[in-house]
Amino acid sequence: MVELTGVAERMELTRPDPIAIHRNAIFAALIALSIVAWLVLIWQGAAHETDVRMASPSMGLGAPLFLAVWLAMTIAMMFPAAAPMALTFHKAQSARRKRRQAFVGTWVFLAGYLVVWVASGVAAYFGALAAEAIATRLDLSAPTSARIGGLILVAAGLYQLTPLKDLCLTKCHTPMSFIMTSWREGTLGALQMGTIHGAWCLGCCWLLCAIMFPLGMMNVAALATVTIIVFAEKTLTWGAAVAQAVGIVIFAYGLLIIIQPQALPIFHG
């Protein structure tokens, strides 16, 4: 009997943990989606490398295609940094399922997160159209347009140093704290949680995304750099210091473009 009990205990210890399996599957899915999104962006950038329209804020695209590109950018740039929050949400839901409480899939949380970023894409598209219309009406020269881009970079750099940026970053940096303070019950609650987290994430990163307009929306090097910055800010223990250092660099680069417009990557004199 003792021997059988020991065998049973060993079998229990070697049995795969379903929670760990699900967690790993979610993490792999997020990374896979991010990789696919990156491949789409790289392909899109290479396909239109010589298209001057791609240097414009709207990239010369209609609303559906612009939003598709924006969604790909969101998944590519934000999902790696959002993974810890998604995994923490899954862990909390798994604990509830163990207690035989209602379980909600992590995809609901991520859907709420994406709703916020798609809405921001709609705002970005109409903002891009308005900027292009104003530039055409005022007949802005290339140096003037570049200097406006420099001002966007200066604003983004300064925002990195503000208390609001620090507050949003804190909300994104501590997943368990967010889960404990923003918990909502049920499917609708999970959707609301994803939306709330998406709003904090947008508040943290919106100007880092805005600098892609002057740098070039299909500038893969700039996209990769911003992705690394976002990931470092949100996942490293010294993320706040990263945000401040990046703010100083972006601010300095914006000043350089204001003084020397040709320093902008998409400058066409």
Q: Which amino acid is at 79?
A: F
Q: Residue 104 pLDDT more than 90?
A: no
Distance, CA of 115 to CA of 61 (rounded, Å) = 21
Read off the pLDDT band of 110 (50, 70, 90): very high
DSSP 162: S
Containing 12, the helix (H) or strand (E) segment is helix 2-14
28 touches 87 (CB < 8 A): no
Q: Where are the domains of the chain?
A: 2-263
Residue 3 pLDDT? 54
Tally Cβ neighbours within 10 Å of residue 55.
21
Segment 219-258, tens digit of pLDDT? 889 999 999 999 999 999 899 999 999 999 999 999 999 9
83 touches 31 (CB < 8 A): yes
Q: Residue 99 pLDDT more than 50?
A: yes
**Exposed, middle or buried, 189 (CB in 10 Å: 0-12/13-18/19+)?**
middle
Q: Which amino acid is at 73?
A: M
Residue 13 pLDDT? 47
Residue 60 pLDDT? 82
pTM: 0.85
Contacts of 243 (CB under 8 A, 6+ apart): 160, 165, 166, 169, 233
Does residue 242 sit in helix, strand or coil? helix
Q: What's the full length of the chain, in residues?
A: 269
Segment 162-189, tens digit of pLDDT? 999 999 999 888 888 899 888 998 899 9
